[in-house]
Structure 1
Amino acid sequence: MNKSAYFIFFLFTAFILGCNPEKQEKPNIIFVFADQWRAQDLGYMGNTIVKTPSIDRLAEESVVFKNAISGCPVCCPYRASLLTGQYPLTNGVFYNDKPLNPEANTIAKIYKKAGYETGYIGKWHLNGHEPGEETFEARLKFIPKERRQGFDFWQVLECTHDYNNSFYYEDSPEQLKWEGYDAIAQTKSAIKYIKEKSKGEKPFLLMLSWGPPHAPYQTAPEKYRQMYSPEDIDIRPNVPEELREKAKTEIAGYYAHMAALDDCLKDLLVETENSGIKENTIFIFTSDHGDMLYSHGNVKKQQPWDESLMVPFLLRYPEKFGDGQKVIEAPVNTPDILPTLLGLSGIEIPETVEGKDYSKIISGEEKPESESVLIQCPVPFHQWNYARGGREYRGVRTERFTYVRDLNGPWLLYDNVLDPYQMNNLLGLDEYKFIESDLDEQLQDWLTKTNDQFLPGNEYMKKWNYYWDRNDSIQIQ
């Protein structure tokens, strides 16, 4: 073969390889999560009062996890499990304002090793604070680079819910301020990051962590608060009569935050289109946990009822799954998020990760190994501490059932299909004895798998050398 023939063969081969449809670049990851947005309050989940048109449109072209569960439904434990793919009793973050080990193997470190740019904007809540240090002062401190868990681009504050007077740090201890309502300003920064990184040669991982719709509920921008009146709010039937008016007022404000965030999400989605990265970007929208909002007479999170446990989870990846909707009924838990993203990205899953990779379940190549996910509260604290009725529990959530034990034995059993508001505890009924037994076996399997001895909360506090905050340890026997 002469030189000309070799040259033509080389060009032809390069052209064929370059056009190979199986040759794909690694996807970008845009991971957007709100704080305390329960799954029940979205249009695509059947709520006709809350206005979430952008999220609803995203759901039409996403993988929709109908039973996405925050397995330890409270801020810091969720975030630590999200970053590590581990359960709280493995990574040690089972109580708010306790630090995630700076040496942990986390999502940003793993993706950086695979050649990604990494960025984080918004609420962090994994830095913790020292014994004797006041919690809310510690939440305003600068977080040095060695405690950022591998994120390079950094516009973060540990935690605040003062959304209209909100601060953050970058690479120095100089305190900067978000202009106006912080979620809107943070979204603008995320859009700028996406514009810049979409022009680069490397894929990127960006996590955007909004503080709303977490309380205070009445602080969204005025135009969004004008969208909802307490009189228009439908109250879940499991809210006691004496709390219904209060619930309506707070939920109206809660929905106002959601409307603001829905507009923020719309702007992010528009930018993925404008930057030309939509097809090869995994776009996630979810939340760290839900909000009881007076269902069962309770507030906030940590609790084993669906208002606390269930979160939205949308995953759009057009290059892999097309532009239509795909519904996954199988329950998915917080530690499963990291391995699933790694599976979709073609990155090896480290041995430190405990969660399940759902990437082949989404594609239909595999079925779930388990029909349940583990739910837990190793240590009740703050709004659900012992004095306020909080208790340690472990349980399982399946597509249909919720089963929970506390330290004294079986506590709750619900058929969530026949009883979607979980108003009828079925424990002890003869017709559910077999189901209770089966769910208890599944729970025991989970406890074995996660090396969980299900001890009183104080034992875990001692093991990790943690101190109790405020009066959380009251009533420990």
Structure 2
Amino acid sequence: MNLAYFFFLTFLLIEGSNYTHSEKRDSPNLIIVLADQWRAQEMGYEGQKQIITPNLDRFASQSLIFENAVATLPVCAPWRASFLTGQYPLTHGIFYNDKPLPNEALTLAEILKAEGYQTGYIGKWHLNGHQRGEEPFSGRDKPVPADRRQGWDYWKVREVTHNYNNSFYFDEKDEKHTWPGYDVFPQTDSAISFISKNKKNPFVLMLSYGPPHDPYFSAPEEFQKLYDASKLQLRPNVPEEFQDSARRVLAGYYAHATAIDYAFGKLIRSLDSLGISDQTLILFTSEHGDMLMSKGVLKKQRPWDESIKVPMLIRYPEKFANRSRRIKNPIGTPDLLPTLLGLSGVKIPESVEGKDFSPDLLSEKEISSDAVLIMLPVPFHEWRFGNGGREYRGIRTDRYTYAKDLKGPWLLYDNETDPYQMNNLAGKPEYQELQHQMEKILQKKLAERKDEFLPADEYMARWNYLYDRNDSLRASNYLEINRLP
């Protein structure tokens, strides 16, 4: 697919539909489109001119744009558990990948199913995990039992895969099927089929894509051809010695992102054709970002913006009239469920810990949020102890990032004057008052959560978890070693 042909197809998707208004209904349809590891900075609507995301850019022009949507714990399974329950990781217990979300957890699908919604889930799940003593990752290729699906009925799911071109799933009867080709495209077709069959009644659908999570070089060739790695510009915080490899990774990452954008356009066009766009609330977001060689590292878990900030768009024409509006104050993962329920007119259960910002959004105010909590109770896998991983707690405001590890203050950034977080202000005498203010906000957040900020082993023992691989191996003087630069 050359660039001209791509834009021709995109034109057909985003301009060739007739926007059909439909009868007003009290209960909106709800669609969550989740990309895995798509960081906030890589969006055309955010000023990134070298990525091709025309469908999402047009969608953003009709949506609420959350400039500081923050992954409270920037890892796959913890984000999913917090999103579906509205709880913080140390409440629901998923602070480490591949651990099972308890059956007792009250989730989005169960809440809306009780309100008469049809429920559907397609794609990556990552909440069934494996039991204590089983081989690490042994659950990733197994079906999720019906009693572990947390209220989702229509079911085309695999626990985890990142082989997007040879991808299988299990259906409602635990029968195994193969997605033909690059799985983003048939998953989108399955979503459109579910929507078409349920258009007359309220439904909730979660479409959970695997990309642009690595492997970075497995998008369809026609999308890879859209990007010349040698011409890509990098963020200034990518060290010089990593820049060649960073450009190659970024080109592959962009190819995945553009493929998702293409599929997203098809999904939006289907809503227009079915005449249900007005009464459908759509959330597009991601679980966490990807460092993509900023500060010389890849992937997530870390407290820097490339890891914790995610794109987030909400379109709901019946309430927001297809007008774009930017929300500057931060919103955290546990806040998403209560806010979606509030926008849908559904009572928020007492088990939910996040804040409902729907009154602010509906009254066209800035959301009433001064800061959101960021955390990593247990470092693991690619950022395990032996690879420099550390426990931390912190906050992200609309301007500042502050984080501390078990030894004390670690990071302090003024993201307005230092958007690439290259000047750590922590411990500098001239910023002592600012650091004190941030510490005070953090302590208030921790007190609200009854978070004692203990070493990782304490939480693993409390939840009867075993470490996977060699994640628990660390120096005997772990608490005394020097901080990372």
Stretches of 4+ aligned residues off by more than 6 angstroms: none
What letter matches 2:175 in structure 1?
E
TM-score, length of structure 2 as denominator length = 0.92
**Shift in Å, 1:366:** 6.0
2:182 and 2:53 mapped to 1: Cα distance? Answer: 18
Give the 5 Å matches for 1:249-328: 249-328=248-327
Higher mean alpha-carbon deviation, 85-94 vs 292-301, is at: 292-301
Specify the alignment match of 1:244 in structure 2.
243
What letter matches 1:150 in structure 2?
G
After superposition, give the CA deviation of every residue in 1:156-187 in whole Å (9 maximum; x if it has no partner). Answer: 00000000000100122321110100111100
**Shift in Å, 1:365:** 6.5
Specify the alignment match of 1:52 in structure 2.
53
**Shift in Å, 1:368:** 4.1
Cα RMSD for the two superposed structures: 1.4
Specify the alignment match of 2:8 in structure 1.
none
After superposition, give the CA deviation of every residue in 1:60-86 in whole Å (9 maximum; x if it has no partner). Answer: 000000000001000000000000000
Q: Verify: 1:204 aligned to 2:196, yes or no.
A: no
Higher mean alpha-carbon deviation, 414-423 vs 355-364, is at: 355-364
Specify the alignment match of 2:177 in structure 1.
176
Specify the alignment match of 1:216 in structure 2.
215
2:222 and 2:331 mapped to 1: Cα distance? Answer: 36
1:233 and 1:318 mapped to 2: Cα distance? Answer: 36
Specify the alignment match of 1:457 in structure 2.
456
1:105 and 1:138 mapped to 2: Cα distance? Answer: 22
- Residues 153 and 172, structure 2, Cα contact 8 Å, conserved in 1: no
Higher mean alpha-carbon deviation, 140-149 vs 427-436, is at: 427-436
5+ residue gaps, structure 1, are 1-20
Higher mean alpha-carbon deviation, 73-82 vs 359-368, is at: 359-368
Specify the alignment match of 2:234 in structure 1.
235
1:329 and 1:368 mapped to 2: Cα distance? Answer: 8
- Residues 360 and 368, structure 2, Cα contact 8 Å, conserved in 1: no
Aligned residues: 455
What letter matches 2:294 in structure 1?
S
Helix, strand or coil for the counterpart of 2:65? strand
- Residues 329 and 367, structure 2, Cα contact 8 Å, conserved in 1: yes
What letter matches 1:88 in structure 2?
P
- Residues 136 and 469, structure 2, Cα contact 8 Å, conserved in 1: no
- Higher CA-based Rg: 1
1:315 and 1:302 mapped to 2: Cα distance? Answer: 25
2:53 and 2:62 mapped to 1: Cα distance? Answer: 15
Specify the alignment match of 1:11 in structure 2.
none
TM-score, length of structure 1 as denominator length = 0.94
Helix, strand or coil for the counterpart of 1:120? strand
1:80 and 1:120 mapped to 2: Cα distance? Answer: 14
What letter matches 1:164 in structure 2?
N
After superposition, give the CA deviation of every residue in 1:12-59 in whole Å (9 maximum; x if it has no partner). Answer: xxxxxxxxx997420000110100000000101111111000000000
Specify the alignment match of 1:148 in structure 2.
149
CA gap 1:259/1:366 in 2 versus in 1, 3 angstroms: closer
After superposition, give the CA deviation of every residue in 1:362-409 in whole Å (9 maximum; x if it has no partner). Answer: 123665444000000000000000011010000000000000000000
Give the 5 Å matches for 1:11-410: 24-198=25-199, 200=200, 202-364=201-363, 368-410=367-409
5+ residue gaps, structure 2, are 1-21, 477-485
CA gap 1:270/1:130 in 2 versus in 1, 3 angstroms: same
**Shift in Å, 1:131:** 2.7
Give the 5 Å matches for 1:417-428: 417-428=416-427
1:24 and 1:157 mapped to 2: Cα distance? Answer: 33
- Residue identity over aligned pairs, in percent, reads 55
CA gap 1:318/1:242 in 2 versus in 1, 3 angstroms: same
1:368 and 1:443 mapped to 2: Cα distance? Answer: 19
